[in-house]
Amino acid sequence: MKAASEYNSAILKDSMTETAQTEPANSLPQPSPCNECPSGLMHLRFITYFTWLDEELVTVPNFPAWGCDVSGRREYDAKASSWLTMLLSPN
């Protein structure tokens, strides 16, 4: 699990460097408008991600995802999804 927590720290750090450089270094990435509803904001949250690998259920705790506070829409962090796909794909 150490690798997962180190990766989450790296994702958070990458997300923070993509925001305005004038923000304090320890702040979370700023919410962005939801693509599904006109009034919601997408906030970074860390969730438990579930996926199937052949016939085995794999759970990934503390997986970064963006969730809308109004519609509930969820978008998984692109870098984290790519990293997880690489880890779970033996080829």
For residue 26, the model assigns a pLDDT of 61
Task: Check whether 7 has a pLDDT greater than 70.
Answer: no
The tens digit of pLDDT for each residue in 14-66 reads 554 444 445 555 677 899 999 899 899 999 999 999 999 889 999 999 999 99
Q: Three-state SS string across 8-70, please?
A: HHHHHHHHHHHCCCCCCCCCCCCCEECCCCCCCEEEEEEEEEEEEECCEEEEEEEEEEEEECC
Task: Check whether 71 has a pLDDT greater than 80.
Answer: yes
For residue 38, the model assigns a pLDDT of 87
